[in-house]
Chains A and B, each alone.
Chain A
Amino acid sequence: MADAVLEQTVDHEAAVAGRRRFWSRVLIYGLLAIFSLVYIVPLFVVVFNSFRDLPEISRNGLIAIPQSFRLDAWPQAWDTYCIGGACEGMKRYFFNSLMMTIPATIISTALGMINGYILSKWRFRGSEVLFTCMLLGVFMPGQISLLPWAFLLGKIGLNNSVYGLILVHVIQGLSFTTLFCRNYYVNIPDDLIKAARIDGAGFWRIFWKIVLPLSPPILIVTVIWQFTGIWNEYLFGVVLNSGAQQPITAALVALSTGGTNVRVFDVMSAAVLIGALPPLLVYFFGGKYFVRGLTQGAIK
């Protein structure tokens, strides 16, 4: 951002400034490199350990350059390792999590968009108060709602099912998605909506034709937030569902807190990566848009 100024100065000053600029670049990239190392090392440790064999891990420690390479841990973690008494690996829990996360993300995001649209563009008497009340849901600690949820799901016959968890995550997610979308839509000029109304467009038409086409940035932020949040949730998954119905986080904890067991770091590493992969992919592909979406108003 100093470029424009520098071009107008005389040569000598330019040289001094250039040198300073060089060193400040070194400093910037140096700091970035140091920090990224701290951030990336834990990931590398897990990736490496998923390919090392167990004796090597116990000999050289968990953080070491791999000296062996084998893929065994992966199919074992995915397919055959015994977790919670069932020797079927992570795969069924992985699919449970997908079956839960995808619908819950879609429904909560869709509802959040419509709610945000109403609370920003179709305000009515008391809508601000109602919005504030919904917002409180963002801050509810999970331990408080656990037993009430169990009771409620039991009453409507959705206990111990992936559908029950979908319902829980949709309702708990509503506060987030509504908040994100409402704060984003507030920035759409009211005149745009007003003009559409004068042209005779109704509630849904304005949503489809004006609001939705402007939504991709916030859509991405919301989807990323919901997907990772729901995929990574542990407490509800482990308490509300049993056995074959549990999500992947429950399986991960079952695998890693082994009680009186040999710790199979290789299989555990592969399992950890399997459990972390979907949200990681979402971030790697959507991370760019995440910051951009935030920039465009989600945090105001």
Chain B
Amino acid sequence: MTFRLRAVSAAAVTTFALLTSTAFAEPKTLMLHQWATGSDAASIAKLGELFAAAGGKWEQTAIAGHTANTLAKLRADVVAGNAPAAVQLKGPEIAEWNETGMTANLDDLAAEEGWDKVVAPELLPVMKPAGSWIAAPMNIHRINWIWGNKAAMEAAGVTELPKTWANFNAACEKAIATGKICLAHLSADWTDATTFEVVVYGQDPELFKKAFVEGDIEALRSEGMIKAFDQMRLMVDKYMDPAIAGRDYDTASNMMANGDALFFIMGDWEIGVLKAAGHNPGEDILCAQAPTDWGKPGFILNSDSVVFFQQNDPDYIEGQKLLAHLILSPEFQTVFNISKGSIPARMDVDLSQGFNPCQQTAQADLKASVEAGTLVRSMAHNMTVLQKYRGAMMEAITEFVNTPEMSSEDAANNMADAVEAQM
């Protein structure tokens, strides 16, 4: 299949290159993103290859680690009057930067290629914050996954991945009884927030929407939130090992993959990490929707996208068109997402070839959760509230995780106060 896919993509790319190269000299682009290493970098490199194969001149700035550095760079570039041609931006930031009036409009290309019909409908308000296309979505990540080591689960007498939080706690008690760690974890603001938002969502999706999507202060302070913190405290104190702080991602992932821990709650980029470590997600490592207490399919969505800033140089303008076209092409959506673990942002891509069983489940669950009305966007991954509110929430959560003596009431109050202080 890879061969056929390559052939198709090469054909598509060359026709596009022919179309554009007759009119303009050389499409160029400079893309700013934060995928500096590993499978992320490999995925984005594919975009560069496609771009170069279409006759473009590809340049990139990858800024590792913290989103802060990517955004600092973007801000400095914009202030310098030199906005980058393409930037990896997501969620509410797309709307925010759109308001500055500096983003490029992609409506013509979108109309020509019929993006509105093929892109997952939940992404449209994010990519078209004021009605015009200004961002090109690359993928859809699912946050609410639970990963389980099959052998370790069997050894502990756990037959299947837990469906509810009560199941989860029961499975953990079994794991502890056999001397295993139940949940692998690493403590950082985004990982603590990821686990916590999965807990909140699993207990009460309406609370999730009120608190994390709308930023409602009373919801952040509510009984439901305190209950979620209680569950989080139980997990931190009892089901995780004490050495979560300062651990790197790979170590945490390996704890589960090697069977030292039973479970890992993490988004679908874990697929790429597991595969790189020689595992087979869906076979030796099981995957399922993270526990929910309300018996329906659920989906916490995250999406990576690229925003284009207005340029004066025709080469770069042409480069933006080419890049946006490539990003939305089924070819790129396929190769990129196979290696990144996410699923295509286009609904019309067939996942039966090359994609992992977990990814296929994700696509089915996405459709089901849209029908059930349970789909939400991720707070921890910057798809809902503005950075200042998200930052305040994440700080409160990670402080709670790292402060054993902090009560759930205090944590909920802290979080509500911190968000309120930003209003």
| Touch between chains A and B, by CB atoms below 8 Å | yes
A→B interface (CB under 8 Å) = 82-86, 146-147, 150-151, 153-155, 159-160, 238-240, 242-244, 246, 250, 253-255, 257-263
| A84/B64 in contact, CB under 8 A | yes
If A239-B72, A254-B63 are given as contacts, then 11 extra A-B residue pairs at C-beta distance below 8 Å, sorted by A number, are A84-B60, A85-B41, A146-B76, A151-B80, A160-B82, A238-B69, A239-B76, A243-B59, A259-B38, A259-B65, A260-B39
| A257/B64 in contact, CB under 8 A | yes
Once the chains are docked, how many angstroms separate the CA of A229 from the CA of B250? 33
28 contacts between A and B (CB under 8 A): A84-B36, A84-B61, A84-B63, A84-B64, A85-B41, A85-B62, A86-B62, A146-B72, A155-B80, A159-B82, A160-B77, A160-B80, A160-B82, A238-B69, A238-B72, A239-B76, A242-B73, A253-B64, A253-B65, A254-B63, A255-B37, A258-B38, A259-B38, A260-B39, A260-B40, A260-B253, A260-B269, A260-B273
Interface size on B (CB < 8 Å)?
Answer: 40
| A258/B37 in contact, CB under 8 A | yes
Among B32, B40, B253, find the residue whose CB has the most chain A CB atoms closer than 10 A: B40
| B36/A254 in contact, CB under 8 A | yes
On chain B, the residues within 8 Å of A155 by CB distance are 80-81
Interface residues of B in 295-318 (CB under 8 A from A): none
Once the chains are docked, how many angstroms separate the CA of A154 from the CA of B32? 18
- The residue in chain A whose Cβ has the minimal distance to the Cβ of B60 is A85
Is B230 engaged at the interface, CB distance under 8 Å to the other chain? no
| B69/A239 in contact, CB under 8 A | yes
- The residue in chain A whose Cβ has the minimal distance to the Cβ of B59 is A243
Cβ-defined partner of B65 (8 Å) among A146, A150, A257: A257
Once the chains are docked, how many angstroms separate the CA of A243 from the CA of B39? 19
Distance (whole angstroms) from the CB of B63 to the closest CB of chain A: 7
| A147/B79 in contact, CB under 8 A | yes
| A254/B62 in contact, CB under 8 A | yes
| A85/B35 in contact, CB under 8 A | yes
Distance (whole angstroms) from the CB of B44 to the closest CB of chain A: 6
| B80/A153 in contact, CB under 8 A | yes
On chain A, the residues within 8 Å of B73 by CB distance are 238-239, 242
Is B84 engaged at the interface, CB distance under 8 Å to the other chain? yes
Interface flags, B171-212, vs A, CB<8A=1, else 0 = 000000000000000000000000000000000000000000
On chain B, the residues within 8 Å of A153 by CB distance are 80
| B77/A159 in contact, CB under 8 A | yes
Among A146, A160, A238, A259, find the residue whose CB has the most chain B CB atoms closer than 10 A: A259
| A259/B61 in contact, CB under 8 A | no
| A243/B61 in contact, CB under 8 A | yes
